[in-house]
Amino acid sequence: MNEQQGPRSVQFGALENSSPVGGSASSIDLLRDVPLEVKAELGKARRLVRDILRLTVGTVIDLDKEAGAPVDLIVNNRQIARGEVVEIDGRYGIRVTEIIR
């Protein structure tokens, strides 16, 4: 007959902190090259499909924010900051004015 044995305890050795060859790295250093999706959201609007199908060049869509209101900065679908739109050398950017925690 087979006798069933009760649970046994198992012990694992200590984990070693591995670092890149030739140097040491903190935990955050391992994440520095991970790509993130960054979006600037001016505002939102809800429309019916028929309204979207009627869009033409020059159509204006009202957003839920007023002109000059802060722009939301979103990283990986999570708002992390607010800011204002700036133009530098013909390109647009966001100057961060508030960090959201």
pTM strictly above 0.85:
no
Please state, in angstroms and rounded to a whole number, the distance separating the CA atoms of residues 85 and 43: 13
Write down the number of H helices and E strands in the chain: 1, 4
Look up residue 95 and give its two tokens. Answer: 């100057």
Please state, in angstroms and rounded to a whole number, the distance separating the CA atoms of residues 94 and 101: 18
Query: Structural domains in the chain?
Result: 35-99 (2.30.330.10)
pLDDT exceeds 60 at position 18? no
pLDDT in tens, 40-76: 999 999 999 999 999 999 999 999 988 889 999 999 9
pLDDT in tens, 75-85: 999 999 999 99
pLDDT exceeds 60 at position 12? yes
Residue type, 12: F
Please state, in angstroms and rounded to a whole number, the distance separating the CA atoms of residues 21 and 36: 26
